[in-house]
Homo-oligomer: A and B are copies of this chain.
Amino acid sequence: MTDPPKAPEGTAADLIASGLRLFGQKGFAATSTREIAAAARTNVASIAYHFGGKEGLRRACGAEVIRRMGTALGNHGAPVPAAPQAAIAEMEATLRSMCAFVTTSPVAAPLVPFMLREVGEGGVIFELVYGAMIEPMHRRFCALWAAATGQEAESPRTRLLVFSLIGQLLYFRVGRPVVTRRMGWDTLGPAEAGTIADLLAANLHSLIERERRS
């Protein structure tokens, strides 16, 4: 269908990396083009040259988010398993890999703050990422949930339930400062991510068991 988007190279890639990091850290408006250029070890004018301007760099960062998440969590095309046990297994595996990716992967590190701000401002980037990433993944999870519990995949209840599952996971990243503070953690590394993933998996199984009975 669509070609796999190629990773940017050279100065353009450096600018995107710096933009992703700084936009997420301080916000789009709070980050000056000069600061981005300095971080990317190039001249301010490069931004206008490569992306047409600051707003163009923002779009390029959004595209990079889609690209990175797509390569990291991209098995959307595979057929949804019909057997409940297989569906449950895939859900747990997805939850665990998403947890690891979102909380500890250095590739994902700048992505979450950036996207969080974009979702908050509700601009074009959000539309892009929603259509390319969020909805497909949510749909697949709903289908897996249906296969696991025998309920209808696209019913409002199923969709909300899947959101409650994803919400648990994402909060540990969005509210990371809160969590680490309250838990007394110095860092949120692989060990802590594993503990979180175990809890999320246990919650998943509890909710599935309840829904299967009804």
The reply to whether A130 and B181 form a contact with Cβ atoms under 8 Å apart is: yes
Is A38 interfacial (CB-CB < 8 Å)? no
Interface of A, secondary structure class, is helix
Q: Which residues of B sit under 8 angstroms from A195, Cβ to Cβ?
A: 156, 160
Query: Considering only CB atoms, which chain B residue lies closest to A181 in the complex?
Result: B130
B interface footprint on A145-188 (CB within 8 Å = 1, 0 otherwise): 00000000000110111011011111110110111011100000
Query: Considering only CB atoms, which chain B residue lies closest to A27 in the complex?
Result: B27
Cα distance A196–B163 in the bound complex, in angstroms: 10
Give the oligomeric copy count. Answer: 2
The reply to whether A119 and B199 form a contact with Cβ atoms under 8 Å apart is: no
The reply to whether B119 and A177 form a contact with Cβ atoms under 8 Å apart is: yes
* 9 cross-chain pairs, A with B, having the tightest CB-CB distances, nearest first: A167-B171, A29-B30, A164-B168, A27-B27, A206-B210, A167-B168, A29-B29, A206-B206, A160-B199
Binding site for B on A (CB under 8 A): 25-30, 113, 116-117, 119-122, 126, 130, 134-135, 138, 156-157, 159-161, 163-164, 166-172, 174-175, 177-179, 181-183, 195-196, 199-200, 202-203, 206-207, 210
